[in-house]
Structure 1
Amino acid sequence: MADNNHLHLQTLTNSNSNSNSNSNSLTTTTTNHHSRRRRRRDKEDEDSFAAEGDAAEVWGTFTENFRQVQSVLDRNRVLIQQVNENHQSKIHDNMIKNVALIQEINGNISKVVSLYSDLSTNFSTMFHQRNEPLDSKSKDDTSQA
């Protein structure tokens, strides 16, 4: 009978040590999960900070391009006023000057088209770059599920 009690006690001891081992394994797994989550959050914070710096640079570029566009449009307004004045004067020399003024207006319109094209490209690039971390994050989340 003593041997049976000893065997029963040994089984309980082994059962408790396995339970402690499982508990330690669970604690380690939970700790690793939180560490990964914390590292991912830190990385996202770093990415966000870098993106804010990039965004400031992009917005600076946008602002500069819009200033250039506005400057060219202002110049065209002055040129169009001059063309109208020359046309109303019906003086031959003024009409000849209009040819060069209209050519400058056309060139300026091409500049505006080019500047807006650059703005569009820059905006599209910025939009896709800012969404890349979100796209890769959603792919990571999907692959982890």
Structure 2
Amino acid sequence: MEEGSVVSNGGEEGSVLANAGVGAARVGGGGGGGGKVVQVLQRSFGEVQGILEQNRVLIQEISQNHEARDADGLTRNVALIRELNTNIARVVDLYANLSGSFSRSVTAAASANNNNTAVSSPSAAAAAAAKASKRPRASE
């Protein structure tokens, strides 16, 4: 993913996550869209990992500047802390979007599975009741 392209932009990543679970459910939980979900998750988590690595470097530089108490370094810390804050906000947005998309995907898959099950077979309770009514009773 390019720098500045965030999953919350409503682009391909969000729609793939939102729709892939439904496709997978229709195919019986097989590959029907799950591969795309995995790719999107890997890409998004890779972006998060890159941002967190960048934050680690920023924090090291901020710490060194603080310890040196150099006027230029302390002035530079203002910009570094702003960049760190922006990066943290990006990570929060990425995780929030991933969480929402994943939740929608799971809900859609569960709904599709429930619809397929309800149409193709009677409920377990109805089947058990029908079976019980056909058994001879011991007192008869």
Normalised to the residue count of structure 1, the TM-score between the two structures is 0.62
| C-alpha distance 113-47 of structure 1, shift in aligned 2 (>3 A) | same
Q: Counterparts of 1:93 and 1:46 in 2: how far apart (Å)? A: 58
Q: How many residues align?
A: 100
Match of 2:70 among 81, 91, 97: 91
Match of 1:66 among 31, 35, 45: 45
Q: Counterparts of 1:66 and 1:46 in 2: how far apart (Å)? A: 24
Kindly state the Cα deviation for residue 84 of structure 1 after the two structures are TM-superposed.
0.2
Q: Counterparts of 2:66 and 2:25 in 1: how far apart (Å)? A: 61
Q: Map 1:6-25 to 2 at 5 A.
A: none
Q: Is the 8 A contact 2:51 2:87 kept in 1?
A: yes
Kindly state the Cα deviation for residue 135 of structure 1 after the two structures are TM-superposed.
1.3
Q: Secondary structure at the match of 2:27?
A: helix
Q: Map 1:18-97 to 2 at 5 A.
A: 47-48=26-27, 52-97=31-76
Matched, 1:117 2:96: yes
1:105 corresponds in structure 2 to: 84
Normalised to the residue count of structure 2, the TM-score between the two structures is 0.64
Sequence identity percentage:
34
Q: Counterparts of 2:52 and 2:70 in 1: how far apart (Å)? A: 27
Q: Is the 8 A contact 1:86 1:98 kept in 2?
A: yes
Structure 1: gaps of 5 or more residues: 1-44
Kindly state the Cα deviation for residue 137 of structure 1 after the two structures are TM-superposed.
2.8
| Structure 1 residue ranges (4+ consecutive) displaced by more than 2 angstroms after TM superposition | 137-143
| C-alpha distance 78-48 of structure 1, shift in aligned 2 (>3 A) | same
Q: Counterparts of 2:106 and 2:84 in 1: how far apart (Å)? A: 33
Q: Is the 8 A contact 2:62 2:80 kept in 1?
A: yes
Per-residue CA deviations over 1:36-84 (Å, capped at 9, x if unaligned) read xxxxxxxxx9932686231111111111000000000000000000000
1:130 corresponds in structure 2 to: 109
Q: Counterparts of 1:49 and 1:61 in 2: how far apart (Å)? A: 21
